[in-house]
Amino acid sequence: MKGGAVRGSGGGHTRVKTARRRTAQSTRWLERQLNDPYVKRAKAEGYRSRAAYKLLELDEKFGFLKGVKRVVDLGLAPGGWSQVVRKAAPKAAIVGIDLLPVDPIDGVTILQMDFMADAAPGRLIEELGGAPDLVVSDMAANTVGHPQTDALRTMALVETALAFAIDVLQPGGTFVSKVFAGGADSTLVAEMKRNFGSVKHAKPPASRKGSVEWFVVAQGFKGRPADQRGGV
Catalytic sites, residue numbers: 178
Alpha helix ranges (H) inside 79-212: 80-88, 120-128, 147-168, 186-195
Q: Do residues 71 and 169 lie in contact, with contact meaning Cβ atoms separated by under 8 Å?
A: no
Other C-beta atoms closer than 10 Å to the C-beta of 204 total 17
Q: Do residues 125 and 165 lie in contact, with contact meaning Cβ atoms separated by under 8 Å?
A: no
CA distance 83 to 169: 21
Q: Do residues 155 and 179 lie in contact, with contact meaning Cβ atoms separated by under 8 Å?
A: yes
64-73 CB burial, b ≥16 within 10 A, e <16: bbeebbbbbb
* HSE of 40, CA atoms in CB hemisphere, 13 A: 8
Q: How far is CA 131 from CA 5, 116, 166, 173, 192, in A?
A: 51, 19, 11, 10, 19
